[in-house]
Structure 1
Amino acid sequence: MTTDETVPRGAPPAAPESGLFSLADLEVETVARLADRAVEFHRDPAAHTRPLAGATVGVLFTKPSTRTRTAFTVAALRLGAAPVTYGPGDLQLSTGEAIADTGRVFGSMLDGLVARTAGPLKELRQLSRHGRLPVVNAMATEEHPSQGLCDLGTLRLCLGDLRGLRLLYVGEGNNTATALALALSGVPGCEATFACPAGYGIPEEQLTAARKRAARAGALIRLRDSADDLPTGVDVVYTTRWQTTGTRKADAAWRERFRPFHVDEEFMTRRPGALFLHDLPAHRGDEVTGAVLDGPRSVAWTQASMKLSSAMAVLEWALPRQTADASEA
């Protein structure tokens, strides 16, 4: 996608952004409510009155997706909306059309847009501003916020009250890790340790934002660049695939640097009370063994199913604001 923001003369001024771009944009209470709503939808998918009936939701994925794309498409249908799906070569963006122009067209026809580009977050903000429509970040370079809400909801489902939660994340400090840090930063007393190879940690800007939020909530976000002496008294171990979707590593020897952060049976044995989470897709033998991923302490498959309920919570929250405004005009 191009980041050209040139707007033709006479075009309407851009509107304020709306939708879900980053968990850092939301109040801690809103994040908690969305996670709790995801749990409600997981327990009862019919716990709604089709609030999006009559709405049309664009679902734009220019990068591969199994869980997130399926989740948001099915979520739109269950809430009463009609999804319109786009692949990587379906839009004139691929031929050089400006994002502002695409946004204006979307805004004239759609009630909301879910988008994964694996590009910078500012592209999605541009689509929202120029299209005057809610946009949901289904993964950008900086953050995967719907995954963070899914993870928080999964933890609430499995553990109940999360105050004082102790979580150990091992692997790449990618957009999932960023969203997780922001989601946990509002949990009082939470201690989250992110162990990432040197040079592959959560980016400083996002880490600073998470730590500021954590300080206000009485939580703690730690970053380690060594797999030695990691905490063992934890409630949760979390990892992700080492090769983030849509990216490549410049260091040819990167696997050697990641190997100490591998989660196997011995790693979990040293943490006897911990559940195991993984956002999937998983590469068995790389970041995790099959025995752990498919073992009795893994809730990765419950976590995967929570993608749908969290998508329902996000769409229910993000879209009605526009439809309500339109009905009052």
Structure 2
Amino acid sequence: MTGKVPEDLLRMSDLDPPTLTELLDLAEAMKQEPMGWEHDLRGGAIGCLFEKPSTRTRVSLAVAAHRLGMAAIVLNRQELQLGHGETISDTARVLSSYLDAITVRTFAHTTVEQLADASTVPVINALSNSHHPCQSLADLLALREHFNTLTGMTAAFIGDGTSNTCNSFLAACAASGMHLTIATPPGYETDQNILGEARELMARTGGSVSLTTEPIEAVGAAQAVYAEVWIPMDRPHEHVQRAKHLAAYRVDDALLAHAPREAVAMHCLPAVRGQEITSEVLDGPRSLVWRQAENRLPTAQAVLHTLITTARRRTT
């Protein structure tokens, strides 16, 4: 690769623009010929440390590992000594001696960082409360397949600007030279530090980000309209409050009527139908959602292959 491959993938911002483009190119090739790399990492193994429920992440990583000739070992805290007092750092050191990479789906982003600090093999953030880079890679591949480009594209993120998906999609837009408008109710604005990082990169890639409280304004020029679940899985106690605050931020046919005719609807799934997005949009002709979900597999395969092969070269 001509870009700088990171030791770990904890955030989208770990990928510089050249590396991001090459990862998407590789994912596209792997999507066309899934078993073309089955001998490259044969006999290796990845660990999948999951502290949150998972459908797409669990299955895509396991299948991606299989297509690379690797085993995928699913782990959870209660089955490990982590659940009985062993530190994250000690667990990472031991797992590093058995595995070629550690993928982690957890709550606090500090857990991912602690694993990466102690691990001697790549650590891949398969979701934390702050960042969701694996999802954003699938998003970008879906957009590139549909529109044949990313640079200069316009997108709108509607709803909770504090979410991990919004944070990562913003960073993805920054690295791709896209223009993003984030529409949120007061109190749900994206973190200023994350916005600052994105704007700094966008100054070099030609992208931009703007903020509004008006969904109709946000989608006016958007080629892609991104909906996100309103109630995170670790905040069920906020259901009534969040549903009230976000009620005007539903992605439905009425909102999409204000977007350009070619605009597509996006969602990272799982979706609460009728809440943040309607079934008519989710299953309709403008939905890119199922392409996003499909692309979780080839992008996971590309990330595993790139980080593991690069790590092996660095140690030889």
Q: TM-score range, shorter-chain basis? A: over 0.9
After TM superposition, the structure 1 stretch with the greater mean CA deviation from structure 2, 295-304 or 34-43, is 34-43
Query: What's the counterpart of residue 274 of structure 1?
Result: 263
- The counterpart of 2:93, out of the listed 93, 104, 127, is 104
* 1:274-319: CA deviation from partner (whole Å, max 9, x where unpaired): 0111110011110011010000110111110100011001101111
Distance 2:216 2:290 in 1: 29
Q: CA deviation at 1:129?
A: 2.6
Q: Say if 2:59 is the partner of 1:70.
A: yes
| Other structure's SS at 2:295 match | helix
After TM superposition, the structure 1 stretch with the greater mean CA deviation from structure 2, 43-52 or 145-154, is 43-52
Alignment: residue pair count: 309
| Other structure's SS at 1:301 match | helix
Q: Is the 8 A contact 1:171 1:197 kept in 2?
A: yes
User: What is the correspondence of 1:3-152 to structure 2 with a 5 Å cutoff?
Assistant: 18-120=7-109, 122-152=110-140
Q: CA deviation at 1:48?
A: 2.4
Q: Is the 8 A contact 2:219 2:256 kept in 1?
A: no
The amino acid that maps onto 2:175 is G
Q: CA deviation at 1:126?
A: 2.1
After TM superposition, the structure 1 stretch with the greater mean CA deviation from structure 2, 198-207 or 277-286, is 198-207
The amino acid that maps onto 2:205 is A
Distance 2:14 2:242 in 1: 33
Given the superposition, is the C-alpha separation of residues 228 and 299 from structure 1 closer, same or farther in structure 2, using an over 3 Å criterion?
closer
Distance 1:297 1:281 in 2: 18
Q: Is the 8 A contact 1:232 1:270 kept in 2?
A: yes
Distance 1:179 1:247 in 2: 20
Distance 2:239 2:104 in 1: 29
Q: CA deviation at 1:265?
A: 1.1
Question: TM-score of the superposition, structure 1-length normalised?
Answer: 0.89
Q: Say if 2:195 is the partner of 1:210.
A: no
Query: What's the counterpart of residue 163 of structure 1?
Result: 151
- The counterpart of 2:250, out of the listed 258, 262, 266, is 262
Distance 1:315 1:246 in 2: 28
Query: What's the counterpart of residue 235 of structure 1?
Result: 223
Distance 2:205 2:310 in 1: 28
Distance 1:251 1:62 in 2: 21
Distance 2:73 2:149 in 1: 38
* 1:231-274: CA deviation from partner (whole Å, max 9, x where unpaired): 42221111111112333464842212101111111111222220
The amino acid that maps onto 2:299 is S
Q: CA deviation at 1:224?
A: 1.9
Query: What's the counterpart of residue 185 of structure 1?
Result: 174
Question: TM-score of the superposition, structure 2-length normalised?
Answer: 0.92
Sequence identity of aligned pairs in percent?
34
* 1:147-179: CA deviation from partner (whole Å, max 9, x where unpaired): 111111111111112222011110112111111
The amino acid that maps onto 2:33 is D
Q: CA deviation at 1:36?
A: 2.4
| Other structure's SS at 1:97 match | coil
The amino acid that maps onto 2:284 is G
| Other structure's SS at 2:175 match | coil
Given the superposition, is the C-alpha separation of residues 187 and 104 from structure 1 closer, same or farther in structure 2, using an over 3 Å criterion?
closer
Distance 2:244 2:91 in 1: 43
The amino acid that maps onto 1:321 is T
After TM superposition, the structure 1 stretch with the greater mean CA deviation from structure 2, 245-254 or 157-166, is 245-254
Q: CA deviation at 1:58?
A: 0.5
Given the superposition, is the C-alpha separation of residues 318 and 245 from structure 1 closer, same or farther in structure 2, using an over 3 Å criterion?
farther
Query: What's the counterpart of residue 189 of structure 2?
Result: 201
Q: CA deviation at 1:63?
A: 0.3
* 1:130-156: CA deviation from partner (whole Å, max 9, x where unpaired): 231111000112100111111111111
Q: Is the 8 A contact 2:50 2:75 kept in 1?
A: yes
Q: CA deviation at 1:324?
A: 3.3
Q: Is the 8 A contact 2:27 2:301 kept in 1?
A: yes
